[in-house]
Amino acid sequence: MVSNPTTLADPIFSARLQTEIKKLNLFELLCSAATTKLVDLTAMAAHQRPAVVTVFAILSHLLCRYGNIDVADPRSWASAWERLIGHDALRLTASHDEVAFLQPPTIEPTSQQSIEAADLLLAKVEHEVKQTWRTTAERGLFAIMGSMLRPNVKDHRSSSRIGLTAVLTSNNGALGDEIAHLAAAFDALFVGPAADHATKDHLVWLRMYSPKTAPLSLADLPLPFLDVGRAQRLRAVDRDLFEVWAVPNNTARINADADPWLDDPHTPKVVTSKDAKRYKLARKPFDYRFEHAVLFGARSDKEDVVRPRILDLGQYRVVRLCALGSEQGKTKGYREATYVAARGSSLLSFDEPSEADRPARLSRRALETIETGLKILNRSLIELFKEADEPSDVDWNRIDTVRQTFRSTVAPRSIQFVFDALSRDEDIAMEQRSLDQLVAEVVFECFKLAATALANPLKHARAEDKLMTGIRFQLKGAAMNEQKVQPLLARQTYAILSKMMLHLSPDDRARLRTMSLSDPPLSFWKLMAQVPAAHTENKRCLEVWQIVLRTVGRVYHASRPLGRILRETDFPEHRLSRFLVATGSSLPGLLDELARWLVSHEVDKANLADLATVGLGDALDDHDARDWARRSIALQYVGAPIVSSVPARTSEATVGGED
């Protein structure tokens, strides 16, 4: 290890390889990336990844394109660099009028930059980042690389790749594999030396920093070229510590429109009737619409987004989407998403994707289904959060929070769905059913999350009824089986009551309906022999069974929904709400009140299992069963047509007639 590195031929990069962690020089790094041994650079910040991969991939591509290199031999890389670029370009520091690595010759720098300001964070603008003023050589270099992506602000002009949105492919998600894949994509797009150009012509940072009166012409630069924005220089100050000094500049170095299209294979392109530019995040939300547009393309009346060519130029298993948000010269955050996306040779193409290609069609159908799901969710949330006294008064802040949760949840799932579908033969009907199911599940998850803190169960039920109706009619491919999955206690209670009804004589029922809860008759205890021991040994469970079996003396246990009966007999809504939220010692009294209502209104048949499950679930701390029964009753009460608490199969028939 060199304690005072002076050039990139010294081991300055802390690298995690497949078998070890060690310091590498530039050529060892390029070699380990080309042979896919490089896993990560430990000093690299997450937001610097797209810039670092771009820099090393372009260097790798240019050296291989213009030189005869053995990619597995670091000495071959070093020899090509000396021959094609020169030793001076390896220096970490140099006089301001001489070149150093990624540091163009310029006038005397006058402004010391914090490492964060030298990077893309713009600490003085954001006022949110703690600044550091000295750092190691590799962190200083990573900051200069990161600066290529930063927004334009006064004295902080960026490079031609400002706000880069990048798609990096690999077989394993490792940094070295991403560099190798991007270099291979450059190799596929740019074959052979550029006419009338040398390697140095691609490296704009080797040239004297041009004044605003003499900008470089984009048309004269060979592709791909590598430039930096603001002229920044490293200065060695203490052992292996460095500072960053800069020259203020208010003009872009290259004479080109904002976000020029550079034929980079890892960046998306936006095409309008006027021009073609790089497509970037900027002020847009990083949501499913943006991610789908970047990865699969998008079409609208005003513009077309073309997915990065790298997605069609090689075989890979992992896709990483990197995007930098910015607004009015401020960095608004770095976003990254990773997907498993196996692509084979049958899908490779040098042609730009057309409107009719399968990824674009799949993505378009996914977006349409997502929009349908969002509308369904919106309607149910309005029902959930509107005020009872003033229906037009809706808590929009809570609705917006849930909608944002939906967007962030559905984005990775829908994109992964498209990638997975691309690995199979096309089946439009099956794909649409799967899309409907995926979106319906996310809609229901977000709705349940929104309703968690809602105290009014009937309000919840009305909103859920609207939600499930929308799913059933608008997402026709969705099979929402959640209602049919009954907890064990609910199924067990229904079966026990059904079996009891088989053996009840008229005399038994007469004794039950006149029994005292404090002194149950023998017929009660005979029936309790069919109940699990855990119930008979629990005082609160016994209390529930006493109320339910006394009710059985007058009301047959059958499949007729309890909640629907309560609605038809005008059971007061506020009393039902009180019952549905009651717990502990207050619950048996409300249970008895509801049972007496059935008797007083001469109800002859009802599903008493739901009534019992509410009480038993609370007594046994089986909250899943209790809440399921509460929800069933509430949905039945508000008129939902989809709730049935009758098990699909029962071992015993129920007497008294099944509705």
CATH code for position 525: 1.10.520.40
User: What is the reported pLDDT for 647?
Assistant: 55
Final residue before a domain boundary, out of 333, 350, 367:
350
On the question of pLDDT at 523 being above 90, the answer is no
**Mean pLDDT on 257-277:** 91
Residue 80 lies in a domain: no
3-state secondary structure (DSSP) of residue 33? helix
Among 297-306, 430-439, 561-570, the minimum mean pLDDT is found in 297-306
468 and 568 fall within a common domain: no
Among 66-75, 252-261, 432-441, 641-650, the minimum mean pLDDT is found in 641-650
On the question of pLDDT at 411 being above 60, the answer is yes
Residue 345 lies in a domain: yes
User: What is the reported pLDDT for 156?
Assistant: 61
531 and 633 fall within a common domain: yes
CA 336 from chain centre, in angstroms, equals 9
Tell me if 502 sits within 8 A of 656, measured CB to CB: no
CA distance 463 to 379: 8
410 and 317 fall within a common domain: no
| CATH assignment at residue 466 | 1.10.132
Query: What is the maximum span of the chain, computed from C-alpha positions, in angstroms?
Result: 110
Which of 65-79, 217-231, 418-432 has the largest mean confidence? 65-79
For the chain, give the mean pLDDT.
88
563 and 450 fall within a common domain: no
CA distance 444 to 380: 10
Residue 120 lies in a domain: yes
CA distance 234 to 232: 7
Q: Is the peptide bond before 353 cis (omega within 30 degrees of 0)?
A: no
Residue 365 lies in a domain: yes
261 and 302 fall within a common domain: yes
293 and 149 fall within a common domain: yes
User: What is the reported pLDDT for 352?
Assistant: 62
Among 21-35, 145-159, 414-428, 516-530, the minimum mean pLDDT is found in 145-159
Residue 250 lies in a domain: yes
Residue 312 lies in a domain: yes
**Mean pLDDT on 549-578:** 93
494 and 475 fall within a common domain: no
User: What is the reported pLDDT for 388?
Assistant: 62
239 and 206 fall within a common domain: yes
CA distance 360 to 474: 23
170 and 319 fall within a common domain: yes
Residue 314 lies in a domain: yes
426 and 536 fall within a common domain: no
Instruction: Kindly indicate the confidence band of residue 655, based on its pLDDT and cuts at 50, 70 and 90.
Output: very low
User: What is the reported pLDDT for 643?
Assistant: 45
User: What is the reported pLDDT for 602?
Assistant: 93
241 and 325 fall within a common domain: yes
Among 100-104, 505-509, 576-580, the minimum mean pLDDT is found in 505-509
pLDDT, tens digit, for every residue of 269-323? 999 989 999 999 999 999 999 999 999 998 888 899 999 999 988 889 999 999 9
How many other C-beta atoms can be found within 10 angstroms of the C-beta atom of residue 68?
10
144 and 268 fall within a common domain: yes
Residue 66 lies in a domain: no
Q: What is the pTM of this model?
A: 0.84
CA distance 521 to 392: 55
How many other C-beta atoms can be found within 10 angstroms of the C-beta atom of residue 501?
19
- The count of domains in the chain is 3
User: What is the reported pLDDT for 484?
Assistant: 56
Final residue before a domain boundary, out of 322, 350, 378:
350
Q: What is the DSSP string of 566-578?
A: HHHTT--HHHHHH
Q: Which one-letter DSSP state was computed for residue 17?
A: E
Final residue before a domain boundary, out of 350, 377, 401:
350
Q: Which domain holds residue 602?
A: 488-637
Query: Looking at per-residue confidence, does 285 or 350 come out higher?
Result: 285
Query: Looking at per-residue confidence, does 156 or 162 come out higher?
Result: 162
Q: What stretches of 18-137 adopt beta strand conformation (E)?
A: 21-24, 38-41, 111-113, 135-136
Tell me if 490 sits within 8 A of 629, measured CB to CB: yes
